[in-house]
Chain A
Amino acid sequence: MTNKVAVMLGAAAFGLVASAASATTLDDVKAKGFLQCGVSSGLAGFSAPNDKGDWLGLDADFCRAVAAAVFGDGSKVKFTPLSAKERFTALQSGEIDVLSRNTTWTINRDTALGLNFAGVTYFDGQGFMINAKKLPGVNSALQLSGASVCVQTGTTTELNLADYFKANNLEYNPVVFEKLEEVNAAYDSGRCDVYTTDQSGLYGIRLTLTAPDDHVVLPEIISKEPLGPVVRQGDDQWFDIVKWTYYALLTAEELGITKANVEEMKSSTNPEIKRILGVEADTKIGTDLGVTNDWVVNIVKAVGNYGEVFENNVGAGSPLKIARGINALWTKGGLQYAPPIR
């Protein structure tokens, strides 16, 4: 079935490449006057509409950053909420310009679906959540022998779970459902002791439970789920813009450029800061990319640096309170690393 879908999507992609060949994505976006960005239909912390209908979250802010790089205005973006099934078709058919929807980077998607992943805005992995109030002594997944585990069927999560418990010689009792809502309801009613899915998903789901504070996410991560923005294959210029928008967010954090101090940083004497903010004499970095030379200033003014985006949406400044962990900059022991902007 997946193969069939892949082939169908592939065919759709070819049809699209032909029609898109007339103009580059950048020209199309500029002509439209806004960026069309595909996001999740509602995952707290990544992309979810608030009570005013504004899209909030890490994925949504990334869309704003790209819009800021292209237009100098982070608000020139329109969001398209997509389900997991619809997302790739929407990108391939040209309905959206960039897909920023907690999408795991896999070789199949990168090759067979005709897509390009522009980076990893969030390093995720499958984790476990338990009710700490009912199970006070448990602080590691290795103590879960004998537990009932709620999991969604037909996912890689289900297979990772079986592998992990087998590898560690632990016993467990799978309680499987077809729909996410059914899994949530079963876990909330106490049918199982443990909930397993992507760790960022666990933090989001925890907020929807009856008593979120009773539940803790265990430290173990049992799989790799690198989530990042996706563009269509075959438009290198657009791919570069999205990719370097992500790197600009990281570099800004590395150099201490924030939403608050970006204007005064422009008069900094540090040549590196001057270079990336486009105030160096005769700089061509921005124009070579296809945008203006003050693109990094615009990005940071719109959403802040990567650290600010992370803390506001999923970190300490948000209800999710996810620790930076491996999403810290490489200078602080994490995996977030940007090539030099020069």
Chain B
Amino acid sequence: MALQETVGSTDVSRGSFINDPKIRGIIFQTVVVILLFALVYWIVGNTIENLRRSNISSGFGFLRGRAGFDVSSSLIEFTSDSTYARGLVVGFLNTLLVAVCGIITASIVGFTVGVGRLSHNWLIRKICTVYVEIFRNIPPLLVIFFWYFGVLSVLPQPRESIELGVPLGGENFLSFSTFLNNRGFFMPKPVWGDGSWLILAGLVVAIVLTIFVARRAKIRQAATGEQFPVFLTGLGLILGLPILAFFLAGMPVTLDLPVASTFNLVGGIQVKPEFLSLYLALSFYTAAFIAEIVRAGILGVSKGQSEASAALGLRSGQALRLVIIPQAMRIVIPPLTSQYLNLTKNSSLAIAIGFPDLVAIGGTILNQTGQAIEIVAIWMAVYLGLSLATSAFMNWFNAKMALVER
């Protein structure tokens, strides 16, 4: 007892403040922060000093210099006379293109496979399992190599291009003017003539009308219980109106067809094998992870929910669409964001097959100018910005999908 009293009394008047856990915590944190700042200061100072001593110019002024190299595929115009800065923009847009296309495809494939893994059909279930296990367990670089060297580079030479179309029997062949060879995928390119705005206007009107119809149908169903074929009506509007506009405007759209020349097919839209293999590889690789996330999300919805839907008379498809998936989405979205970010970051593997993404073009500029620190800083800033933007969008989407608690 006496001992306890002694301990209790010293607790308040404990001679040294070092023994006070609260003060001690503050001291330790201050020391760590000071050390951290000192480390950063030392690194920055050291770098600047070394650069100065090595006569290496620093700063971002070099970005205004003439690039001097050409880029194989670019969304904006780029020649060897353009600046390094424009080269980096070309790389950034290519990264963005692969990331956006990849995310869309990966989501579609991933959701399909994820739902397929829970199918009652043995064959579908097993095929989806095999898909997931194969792609999830191979490094993404090998998947890219598989598409590039294993699939696309063994396609025929330009002179023996595969022409896609429908055989009509005998000699007749309905050609789509679409070709596949080891230089990529070639398809007709629409050339918009005078009056093409009418087609776009038709499309916009159709979309607005479809949204309006959908709203009305929902209100009517809530009021009367009668259903309206919104999907078919919308499809008819979205396809029909632009086609009507096309004929009304006097068929202003012509096609630029790919035709054979000395070295390759020219004209039309060309999708390069470097882009194709990167896009397909990233999509299929990430889709395997998305499939698992979707499966986990669906299994995370309690069994009672599907039993309750069945009790209400919903068919299994309806139950999945109207009851299970909306609840599963709340579980799915946060890990899905990580997968989208992974896909974006994995797109830097493009360098292995020569697709001019941000890292590949930045690497070339780094080699030609020697401005290593600046280029690496730009890389980090761009990927960080891209990832934060994706994350912000997904957080917004998550908040929208979250269970509204009343």
Contacts and interface: CB of A to CB of B under 8 A. Distances in A.
Contact of B264 (A1, A146, A165, A185): A146
B273 A162 contact: no
The listed residue with most A CB atoms (<10 A of its CB), out of B79, B183, B263, B360, is: B263
Given A3-B56, A175-B354, A146 B263 contact: yes
Nearest to A4: B54
B364 A153 contact: yes
A3 B55 contact: yes
Nearest to A6: B54
Contact of B370 (A1, A137, A172): A1
A31 interface: no
Contacts of B356: 176
Contact of B261 (A144, A146, A148): A146
Interface stretch (B69-77, B98-106, B170-178): B69-77
Nearest to B369: A1
B386 interface: no
B252 interface: no
A143 B261 CA distance: 12
Interface string B350-371: 0111101000100110111010
A163 B372 CA distance: 25
Interface string A184-198: 011001110100000
B68 interface: yes
A190 B54 contact: no
Contacts of B351: 178
A174 B363 CA distance: 16
A158 interface: yes
A21 interface: no
Chain B interface mostly helix, strand, loop or mixed? loop
Q: Name, among B71, B149, B351, B364, the residue most crowded by chain A CB atoms within 10 Å (CB to CB).
A: B364
A158 B183 CA distance: 20
B370 A2 contact: yes
Nearest to B68: A159
Contact of A162 (B68, B263, B353, B367): B68
Contacts of A137: 262
Contacts of B149: 185, 189
B144 to A, nearest CB: 13
A185 B148 CA distance: 12
Contact of B368 (A7, A159, A161, A175): A159
B157 interface: yes
Contacts of A326: none
A106 to B, nearest CB: 15
A147 interface: yes
Given A146-B264, A178-B351, A186-B354, A162 B70 contact: yes
Given A134-B159, A147-B262, A178-B363, 19 more contacts: A1-B367, A4-B54, A137-B262, A146-B262, A146-B264, A147-B264, A153-B360, A158-B69, A159-B368, A162-B70, A166-B79, A173-B264, A175-B72, A176-B356, A182-B354, A186-B354, A189-B149, A189-B153, A191-B273
Q: Please list the 4 inter-chain residue pairs (A to B) with the smallest Cβ-Cβ separation, ordered nearest first.
A: A154-B367, A162-B80, A1-B370, A147-B263
